[in-house]
Amino acid sequence: MTATAALPADATVYLVGGAVRDALLDRAPGDRDWVVVGTDAQAMRAAGFKTVGADFPVFLHPATGEEYALARTERKSGRGYTGFVVHADRTVTLEDDLRRRDFTINAIAQADDGTLVDPLGGRADLEARVLRHCSPAFAEDPLRVLRAARFMARFAPLGFRVHEDTLALMRGMVEAGELAHLVPERVWQELKRALGEARPSAFLQTLRACGALAVVLPEVDALYGVPQRAEYHPEVDTGVHVEMVVDMAARLAPGDAAIGFAALTHDLGKALTPAEVLPRHPMHEHAGLKPLAALCARLKVPNAEAQLATDACREHLNVHRFDELRDATVHELIERCGGLRQGSRIDALALVCEADKRGRLGHAESDYPQGRALRACRDAALALQAKDVMREGLAGPAIGEALKKARIAAIGAARRSLSGGTAPPATPAG
C-alpha cells in the first residue's frame, strides 16, 4: 500500500519535517511525518483513519500506523507552549502549515514524485549549516528555545550554528519570562533527548548564550566561572569541564541519557565551594547532593536516572582513588550503590566516572583502569551467593555476615589478580 492509498480522494499528502531534512543531510531518517492538504477531519475518519487526540488534527494510517496531520495554522491565545488555537480545514495550504513550524530546516515538504516544496529556504540553510526560525511566531512558544538547543546538540558536529536573529529572539523570550511557563516534564524530555545526542555540550552552550541555562538549569549554570586546580583540570573552568564530561559520556555511551544526566550533575557541589578555599573543592561530592536533589525534584526526573546521578555525585572521587580503598570499603561502595542487587548499576557508575576522568583538557584518550577494577570486584562479589557459605549451625543474620565476609575476601582476590599479585595499599580512605 502506498502512502496515499487510503486517503480521501480530494487530499494531497506530503512528507514533511525531520525525514526530509535528514535525507538531505544523508542521515538515517527516523519516524516519517505526513501532512495532508485539501481535506478535513470528517473525510479522514470516513477513509478509515483513526483520530489520535482532540488537541491537534492528527490521525493514524489504517495500514501503516504512521501519523498523518491535516495542514494547520496556530494562533497564540495565552502564555507558554500550550496557549494556542489550532485551525485546520480544506482552506489551509501546505505553505501555511510550513510557515507555522519552528525552523526552516524542518519546514521542507516532499511530494510523492520527490519534488521539494521549500518556501522558507530550508534547503539553503541546510547547506549553510544554519538553524534559523521560520517566522516571528517562533517567539510565541518557549519550548522552541529548548528545541533549538537540542538540535544544536545533534547538529553541531556537522558544523551548524544558530542564526544571529534566532538567537536574539531566544534572548528576548528569556527576558520576557516566557520560559517560566514551561512544565517540568517538558524540560526534562528536552534535556533527556539532548543528552542522548552526539554533542550535549552544544545544548548547554546554546542555552547559556541566550540566558536560558540560568532559568532551566541554574545549578549547572552556576558552575561556569568556578575555578579548579589546574594540575588536575587544565581546562580550569568547572562549567567547561562539565561540557567536556557530557561529551565524553556521549562518546562512551551513545544515546544513554541516564549516563549523560549523571555526567552533567556529578560536580554540582563545586558551585557551593567557599571562595576562600578555591580552587580546591573539599567535600564537593557531598555538597552536590542537595542541589542535585532539588534539580531532580523540580524537573521530576525519573527514579532510575536520579539514583544513578546521586551515586555518581557521591562516589566519583571514591572510584577515582579506587586503589586506595580497603576491600571492605569497596564492598560497602558496591552495596551502597545497589550493585549487589542490580549489577548493571555498577557498569553505569563506572562509565560516568570514566567520562569525568577523561573529560579534561588533554585527557580524552587516557586509560581508566579504575572502571575495570570496580566491575571486576562487582563480578567477584556477585559470584558468591548465600548457598555458597551455608554450613551447619549458621542461621539468620549469621548467614548474611558470612556471605559479606566471603564477598570481601573475593574482592581482595580479584584486586590482587588485577594488580599482578600485589595487594593494594591498606589505607582507611573511602
pLDDT at 88: 77
pLDDT at 387: 83
Q: Cα–Cα distances in Å, from 261 out to 250, 292, 428?
A: 10, 11, 31
> What one-letter code names the amino acid at 213?
L
pLDDT at 78: 54
- Hey, what's the torsion of the CAs at 319, 321, 322, 323, to 10 degrees? 170
pLDDT at 426: 39
What whole-number distance in Å separates Cα of residue 222 and Cα of residue 235? 17
Helix and strand element counts for the chain (H, E)? 19, 11
Cell numbers for 419, please give them: 594488580
Q: Which of 241, 246, 233 lies closest to 197 in space, CA to CA?
A: 246
Region for residue 345 given its phi and psi (left: phi exceeds 0; alpha: psi -120 to 50; beta: otherwise): alpha
pLDDT at 83: 52
Domains in the chain, CATH or no CATH each: 1-128 (3.30.460.10)
pLDDT at 390: 77
pLDDT at 427: 32
What whole-number distance in Å separates Cα of residue 132 and Cα of residue 171? 14
SS3 104: helix
What whole-number distance in Å separates Cα of residue 26 and Cα of residue 94? 25
Q: Which of 427, 314, 332, 312 lies closest to 378 in space, CA to CA?
A: 332
Q: Cα–Cα distances in Å, from 282 out to 249, 353, 412?
A: 24, 18, 29
Give the per-residue SS3 of 271-339.
Answer: HHCCHHHCCCCCCHHHHCHHHHHHHHHHHCCCHHHHHHHHHHHHHHHHHHCHHHCCHHHHHHHHHHCCC
Q: Which of 351, 374, 358, 365 lies closest to 424 in space, CA to CA?
A: 374
User: Mean pLDDT of residues grouped by 10 in the chain (430 residues)?
Assistant: 65 93 90 90 90 81 90 68 68 91 96 95 97 94 97 97 98 96 95 98 98 98 97 97 98 98 98 97 97 98 98 98 97 97 97 98 97 97 87 76 94 91 40
